[in-house]
Chains A and B, each alone.
Chain A
Amino acid sequence: MSETLVKPSEASPLQRAVGGALRSREIAVFAVLVVLIVVATVKSNSFLFGGDGWRDLLVTPAILLVLAAGQTMVIVTRNVDLSVGSTLGLTAYLTGRLFVDQPSLPIVVVFLIGIAFGGLLGLVNGILVAGFRVPALVITLGTLYIYRGVFLEWAGSDRINPSDMPSGFLSLGTKQILTIPVLTIIALLVIAAVGYYLHTARGGREMYAIGSDPDAATLYGLAVTKRVVWAFVICGALAGLAGVFYAARYGTISSGAGRNLELEAVAAAVIGGVAIFGGSGTVWGAAIGAFLLVTIDRVLPILGIPDFWQRAVVGALIIGAIVLDRVLSARQERALIEARDR
């Protein structure tokens, strides 16, 4: 997605590859991530090699990875979904309730119900936003309140405890295949699927088009409403999946589940180079952004920075990422103008 803008003949292929890579947001963020992990490991071996280090490194971001993938899809269409945290909480609780009330349900079915339920909540968002042509920010801010209110009202003080859920399900939270945690594998599959869709499917490319210029999209005769509704449905469904993940990983679901995750999901996408006004960015970028956000949280204490400062670092990182983006695109623009002058 990071094609160079200068005419191809003007740079050698090597220059182009190097230049492209350096300009690529994904690679820059990935480099930061790697440096972070290396530094943390040097400081404390167990971060990577000790006991659960490797597993935790991979499994902790799983939930945010899934959320960021969905959020990317919505942002690409020039919308935003602030209700994902509430959707996650609601679905996580639903998952727990299902195990309590229908202990015989197979785990796969619970996964499917969670996804479907999240999708349903996303559908509500999508219909409100695309159907009534009103700003997503306002609508999903409203449903953030509503979904969480419904969740809390339903759950009350009821808390789902690990003992309420089958151990087969809970072990998903830690189970590893070839040392890679199952949840991470699922999250990566989701990323791959969403990325594949956005990159190579008609619908995906149309989502970019819609985000790039909604008016032009209408002129082209694209099914704007349908695509936007879909983006919200997928985002909701992924938040639902993340809810099931949450239940499996944390075992305990209380009213706080998923609170404030929405802004983290948006932040992950923004750090990963997804333009907040749609039309550009990749789900890989968002995934790396999510990985980075979560890992920073875990690394800072190891580096001796009190965890009170974590959020400040995250904030600085987000702002840095947007400024970097602007600097890069300004440089490209200048290159283009100069190319035209010749």
Chain B
Amino acid sequence: MSMTTIDEAVNERTYADYSRPLLWRVFMTREFAIIALLVLVYFYAYGNVANFDGPLTLYYLFLDMAPIMLIALPMTLVIITGEIDLSVASIMGLTSVMLGIGYHDFGLSMPLAIVLALVVGTVCGAINGFLVAYVGLPSLAVTIGSMALFRGIAVGLLGTEAITDFDEKWTDLATQRIGGDSSYPVILIAFVVLAIAFAILLHFSTFGRGVYEIGLNDQTARFTGVKVERTKFCLFLLAGVVSGFAGIFYTLRYGSARGDNAEFYELQVIAAVLLGGVSIFGGRGALHGVIAGVLLIGVVSSALRLENVSTNITNIVIGGLLVLSVISGSVLSSVSNLRQRRAARARAPVKASHRSGQPDDGEKAASE
């Protein structure tokens, strides 16, 4: 019982690092389930969907999913802190327009126009971040508002116009393949770099530990010295920058800057993140799951499109996956709870039949 003094006890107790074997830790996770599903669907499609094995499939899949993959990275962090950003697609639209205006109307060079667009994306993120982190407003409500605001500015600025006269060099860059003829567009390089950066940020940095702590218990995080406001602000800022980058890619890929570019992408991004195993309440999730979630959506849509199945069915499948993915978690945990309770009861059966059989020691002093 007695406690040894602080200085002596170092080797009194030893602790294992992990309670479960490595394989268990790797395979028994939400993330792994999604990755397994992705692999399964991919190989099923590879074997059974005509033309899925063609050289263009992966190329188009990555090109189509690139903006969602990119934005899913910061969105994962935002959702892990328990917040949400619905305005990302509008930021894409606005940066797209700014790129067009910067290049076409202001006559900026392409790199300068890109910088301008990125700055606009950053400012958008900062506005969200300020309102959520420092003013303390609910992010769902704030970003519903800023979603309309940013989109409105984008559409307002460009009106009916579409700016299309971008320099070929740049629009080609957006669709270029790595090494000239592989299945991988160059945007993947940007994605991989960002993914590694975000993975380090989230999983291997003090900042990332703070992100999880804020999502699980922001009071404790504050007591521990995590700068809750600043962290949230930074994440919204990052979401703004990356959305801006995605907006630039989008514009160059289609060679067309329009106010309504990338409309409704926000729900796809969020669906992908949640499908990847991130909890909407915050505190749980990992980037590899999210990337698998995005790719799963990409593979399913691509395969179904190749089968000439309509978008509607694709949407039903994605919606169904989303619902199932949250429900399965809840069902599994309630089943295991139930089992635990049963086990506890079996250990100590409720003595309902026991009736005043023995002398009652609780009674002896009762004054009546």
Q: Which residues of A contact B150 (CB under 8 A)?
A: 315
* Interfacial residues of chain A within 127-145, with CB under 8 A of chain B in the complex: 128, 132-135, 137-139, 141-145
Q: Which residues of A contact B312 (CB under 8 A)?
A: 148-153
Are B331 and A146 in contact (CB-based, < 8 A)?
no
A241 to B322, CA, bound (A): 27
Interface centre among B141, B147, B320 (most CB of A within 10 A): B141
- Interchain nearest-CB distance for A81 vs B (Å): 13
Are A311 and B152 in contact (CB-based, < 8 A)?
yes
A314 to B151, CA, bound (A): 10
B270 CB within 8 Å of chain A:
yes
Given known A263-B144, A316-B149, contact A146–B156 (CB-CB < 8 A): no
A57 CB within 8 Å of chain B:
no
Q: Which of A146, A277, A317 contacts B319 (CB 8 A)?
A: A146
A153 to B316, CA, bound (A): 10
Residue on A with the closest CB to B137?
A: A322
Q: Which residues of B contact A51 (CB under 8 A)?
A: none
Segment at the B interface, from A3-11, A112-120, A211-219, A302-310:
A302-310
Are A323 and B131 in contact (CB-based, < 8 A)?
yes
Q: Which residues of B contact A315 (CB under 8 A)?
A: 145-152
Are B323 and A139 in contact (CB-based, < 8 A)?
yes
Q: Which of A148, A312, A322 contacts B148 (CB 8 A)?
A: A312
A149 to B316, CA, bound (A): 5
A144 to B267, CA, bound (A): 10
Q: Which of A134, A137, A308 contacts B259 (CB 8 A)?
A: A308
A313 CB within 8 Å of chain B:
yes
Are B280 and A135 in contact (CB-based, < 8 A)?
yes
Given known A146-B320, A153-B310, A309-B152, contact A263–B147 (CB-CB < 8 A): yes
Are A308 and B316 in contact (CB-based, < 8 A)?
no
Are B330 and A134 in contact (CB-based, < 8 A)?
yes
Interface centre among B131, B149, B329 (most CB of A within 10 A): B149
Q: Which residues of B contact A311 (CB under 8 A)?
A: 148-149, 151-152, 155-156
Q: Which residues of A contact B322 (CB under 8 A)?
A: 138, 141-142, 145
Residue on B with the closest CB to A147?
A: B319
Interface band, chain A: 35 or more
Residue on A with the closest CB to B274?
A: A138
B343 CB within 8 Å of chain A:
no
Residue on B with the closest CB to A125?
A: B323
Q: Which residues of B contact A149 (CB under 8 A)?
A: 312-316, 319
A63 CB within 8 Å of chain B:
no
Q: Which residues of A contact B319 (CB under 8 A)?
A: 141-146, 149
Q: Which of B135, B314, B316 contacts A150 (CB 8 A)?
A: B316
Q: Which residues of A contact B267 (CB under 8 A)?
A: 141, 144-145
Are A132 and B131 in contact (CB-based, < 8 A)?
no
Given known A141-B270, A145-B271, A145-B319, contact A132–B330 (CB-CB < 8 A): yes
Residue on B with the closest CB to A140?
A: B323
- Interchain nearest-CB distance for A123 vs B (Å): 15
Are A266 and B144 in contact (CB-based, < 8 A)?
yes
Given known A132-B331, A153-B310, contact A145–B144 (CB-CB < 8 A): no
B153 CB within 8 Å of chain A:
yes
Chain B contact residues: helix, strand, loop or mixed: helix
A318 CB within 8 Å of chain B:
yes
- Interchain nearest-CB distance for A83 vs B (Å): 9
Are B145 and A141 in contact (CB-based, < 8 A)?
no
B292 CB within 8 Å of chain A:
no
Mark A278-316 against chain B: 1 for CB-CB distance below 8 A, else 0: 000000000000000000000000000010111111111
Interface centre among A128, A142, A152, A309 (most CB of B within 10 A): A142
A309 to B148, CA, bound (A): 10
B138 CB within 8 Å of chain A:
yes
Mark B96-125 against chain A: 1 for CB-CB distance below 8 A, else 0: 000000000000000000000000000000
Are A138 and B280 in contact (CB-based, < 8 A)?
yes
Given known A145-B322, A311-B151, contact A153–B145 (CB-CB < 8 A): no
Are B135 and A308 in contact (CB-based, < 8 A)?
no
- Interchain nearest-CB distance for B165 vs A (Å): 21
Are B152 and A319 in contact (CB-based, < 8 A)?
no
Are B323 and A312 in contact (CB-based, < 8 A)?
no
B326 CB within 8 Å of chain A:
yes
A64 CB within 8 Å of chain B:
no
A260 to B311, CA, bound (A): 17
* Interfacial residues of chain B within 142-168, with CB under 8 A of chain A in the complex: 142, 144-153, 155-156, 159
Are B137 and A323 in contact (CB-based, < 8 A)?
yes
Are A267 and B145 in contact (CB-based, < 8 A)?
yes
B281 CB within 8 Å of chain A:
yes
- Interchain nearest-CB distance for A145 vs B (Å): 3
- Interchain nearest-CB distance for B153 vs A (Å): 5
Q: Which residues of B contact A134 (CB under 8 A)?
A: 326-327, 329-330
Are B330 and A276 in contact (CB-based, < 8 A)?
no
Residue on B with the closest CB to A274?
A: B141
A317 to B316, CA, bound (A): 34
Mark B269-302 against chain A: 1 for CB-CB distance below 8 A, else 0: 0110010000011000000000000000000000
Q: Which residues of A contact B311 (CB under 8 A)?
A: 152
Residue on A with the closest CB to B153?
A: A312
B80 CB within 8 Å of chain A:
no
20 additional contacts, CB 8 Å, given A311-B152, A323-B137?
Answer: A128-B327, A132-B327, A134-B329, A142-B323, A142-B326, A144-B267, A145-B319, A146-B315, A148-B315, A150-B312, A153-B313, A263-B148, A266-B144, A267-B144, A267-B145, A308-B156, A312-B148, A313-B152, A317-B145, A319-B142
A-B contact pairs, 26 of them (CB 8 A): A133-B330, A135-B280, A138-B274, A138-B326, A141-B267, A142-B321, A143-B319, A143-B323, A145-B267, A150-B316, A152-B311, A152-B312, A276-B138, A276-B140, A308-B156, A308-B159, A309-B156, A311-B155, A315-B145, A318-B141, A318-B144, A319-B146, A322-B137, A322-B141, A322-B142, A323-B137
List 8 tightest A-B contacts by C-beta distance, closest first: A312-B152, A315-B149, A145-B319, A311-B152, A315-B148, A318-B145, A149-B316, A146-B319
